[in-house]
Structure 1
Amino acid sequence: MPHSVSPTQENATPSQPKLFVNDGPLENYSWLQPSQPDEPLEGLRRKYNEDGYIFLKGLIPREDVLTARRSYFDFMSPSGVLKPGTTSEQGIFDSAKSAAEFPGIGAGAVGGNQRPGDDRAATFVDRALDAHKQDWYKETFCKHPALSEFISKFSGWGDDTLAIKRTLLRNNIPGTHAIGVHYDQIFLRHGEPTAITAWVPMGDIKVNGGGLIYLEKAHTLGRDQETSFYNSAISSGLTEEQAKHAFNATMMDTGLLDSAPSAYSKRFNKRWLVADYEAGDVVLHTPFTIHASTVNHDEEGVIRLATDLRFVDSSRRWDGRWDKVYEMDDGL
């Protein structure tokens, strides 16, 4: 279980955990504000619109999350990623091996979702991709009724609520490169900016264990950045279709806003918000909410596992390119 931290909007103190991102220490951070799933929907919607996120404690039954975690690491075990003598639920990395053999997958590859690692990583990467197709994941976990029913009520979309097929099931080995700064609409530009992302930790993630961090009240900044990107793309001579591409000529070739979260927050004088996550927690965030992750420095070597699930209103225009299971080199 993660250690308990009382959420506060005060700056972190020297006694609080020392956290790191890709460009060094995370010097100025505070805490995500937790909400309970049974709070009045009107209040939760207000928080979501004002803060760009809601951090829901215990939305999914803990044992259901841990069952999926065990299934994942049972599936990944042939790659040799787990420390001998430990369990699948623990998900502890075998530190006797090189982390280069076990690269993460997801947003941030140059030019799109290119295959990471070299031949040593082949088994691990293949299984990490194939995990997206397993029934315990795509049919049971991704369609968990506790989450889908909450989204349906929270969004007001009712029967038009659609969980889109393309999800991102990400592992993060201790000490490896973390996720850079981005907002999701960059990768969903072929649809209206109305999707809701559910970030779901698949197991406990300590505050220094590589979980997501959110730039404080920066969803308005994300919207402004998107407008700036569009105007820059059009003024440079790109077509409307070219401007929608997440890796167009006016942006970083990774689709990210920045690879350096610490420097990014200083540029806009905003704090990152962090949390101790527990199995069952879910964070919902808007298409423009700016987020990244810390470097996983879990002292026990626990592998950070989480998934990005996205929901749309099927009665409105959404990015149909995401109507498929995740695969490499899909340009998204």
Structure 2
Amino acid sequence: MTVPTSTPSKPTLDGVELYVNDGLLRPDEVAPLHPSSPSEPVEQLYKRYAADGYLFLRGLIPREDVLDARKSYFSALEPTLFLEPNLPVVDGIFNSSSSRDDFPGIGSGQLDLDPGSPAARFVDAAVKSHTDSWYIGSKEEGITGFCNHPAILEFVARFTGWAENTLTVRRTLLRNNTPGNHAIGVHYDQIYMRYGEPTSVTVWVPIGDVKLEGGGLIYLEEGYKIGERMEKEFNKKARADGMSEDEVRNAFNANMLSSGVLSEEPREFANTHGKKWLVAAYEAGDVVLHGAHTIHASTVNHDPEGCIRLATDLRFVDSSKPWDTRWDKDFEIGDGV
């Protein structure tokens, strides 16, 4: 689905037009994400995370490691012809002569594709990347894998205080977002991880630079409070309606779409709740940590150079406490998790 644009009266922020699925964001509908440094005292960082529901860390991972991961991903998908030819693979520039419909994004839902079509071949390659050794590692090859990057793992273990109980959840979402295509809808992660306590920490890692208008994640101002309230109200109503514990875990809230997304219209959702979307440009090496109820979405990728936004969602849990072990598997299309 290609998202239409229109000519705005004024840019959203810093001279840039920011679009979500339901249109252009006005200047009064956004604010900047607050950046932090990994070198700040961990107590101070955790206090900020608890207050905001997120922690935007600049330069946690060495830039060259992120760009190596980006090159590995796009090298594997280059045969699907979604990259502009005769440019460095690591740049990840979308093939301007291709149809965006042939390169659908992947997420939690089922895709209805014709077997053998360009779109099906592309999705197969994108799904396979979740099990490539550069990404998940290989004991046989002595490769740690990007998912287990020591800079991320060590920071999360120290930041949460989980220490040796810190576990990288096996199921991850390695997403590419081509210019102009449908953006990520409004959601919070506990919707998908209800078989565990709401204590997981997601680390969103942009794999490469993402311009302000390049389709990066956006966070709802104080969105974790709204997510917590929604989940509490849903659980209360579900139990009052006689649902079993399993039914409560599997059921989607009446406020959600069939995929678990709260809304496909971020602008309307934020206005309904009287909140702004918090936005940023990201550089290779940056990460954002967010909690289980933190509400987030993404902008539409309108990178002026046609750069494909590549990022991964890594989730961490305290292995000494109950967590959603349905996620102890590799990602598959339509796996129902």
Taking structure 2 as the reference length, the TM-score comes to 0.91
1:235-246 aligned within 5 A: 235-245=240-250
The residue identity in structure 2 corresponding to 1:22 is N
1:282 aligns with one of 281, 284, 287: 287
| Count of equivalent residues | 316
Superposed CA offset, 1:42-80 (max 9, x none): 000000000000100000000000000000000000100
1:293 and 1:117 map into 2 onto residues whose CA distance is: 24
In structure 1, stretches of 5+ residues that fail to align are 1-11, 108-112
Q: Does 1:219 align with 2:224?
A: yes
2:148 aligns with one of 117, 120, 143: 143
Cα RMSD (Å):
1.4
Identify the residue that residue 129 of structure 2 maps to in structure 1. Answer: 131
Identify the residue that residue 206 of structure 1 maps to in structure 2. Answer: 211
- Decide whether the 8 Å contact of 1:215 with 1:273 is kept in 2: yes
Identify the residue that residue 110 of structure 2 maps to in structure 1. Answer: 114
Change (3 A) 1:14 1:104: closer
Q: Tell me, what secondary structure is at the counterpart of 1:298? A: coil
> Matched residues, percent identical?
54
After TM superposition, the structure 1 stretch with the greater mean CA deviation from structure 2, 234-243 or 169-178, is 234-243
Identify the residue that residue 9 of structure 1 maps to in structure 2. Answer: none
1:57 and 1:229 map into 2 onto residues whose CA distance is: 36
Change (3 A) 1:100 1:117: farther
Q: Does 1:300 align with 2:305?
A: yes
Identify the residue that residue 105 of structure 1 maps to in structure 2. Answer: 106
The residue identity in structure 1 corresponding to 2:129 is A
Superposed CA offset, 1:97-134 (max 9, x none): 11000000013xxxxx3135443301110000000000
2:302 and 2:34 map into 1 onto residues whose CA distance is: 23
Identify the residue that residue 162 of structure 1 maps to in structure 2. Answer: 167
In structure 2, stretches of 5+ residues that fail to align are 1-10, 138-144
1:11-30 aligned within 5 A: 15-27=14-26, 28-30=29-31
How big is the shift at 1:88?
A: 1.3
Q: Does 1:80 align with 2:85?
A: no
1:162-201 aligned within 5 A: 162-201=167-206
1:88 and 1:120 map into 2 onto residues whose CA distance is: 20
Q: Does 1:326 align with 2:327?
A: no
Q: Which runs of 4+ in 1 moved over 4 A?
A: 12-15
- Decide whether the 8 Å contact of 1:229 with 1:251 is kept in 2: no
- Decide whether the 8 Å contact of 2:256 with 2:263 is kept in 1: no
After TM superposition, the structure 1 stretch with the greater mean CA deviation from structure 2, 68-77 or 230-239, is 230-239
The residue identity in structure 2 corresponding to 1:17 is V
2:209 and 2:12 map into 1 onto residues whose CA distance is: 23
Taking structure 1 as the reference length, the TM-score comes to 0.92
Identify the residue that residue 44 of structure 1 maps to in structure 2. Answer: 45
2:71 and 2:12 map into 1 onto residues whose CA distance is: 36
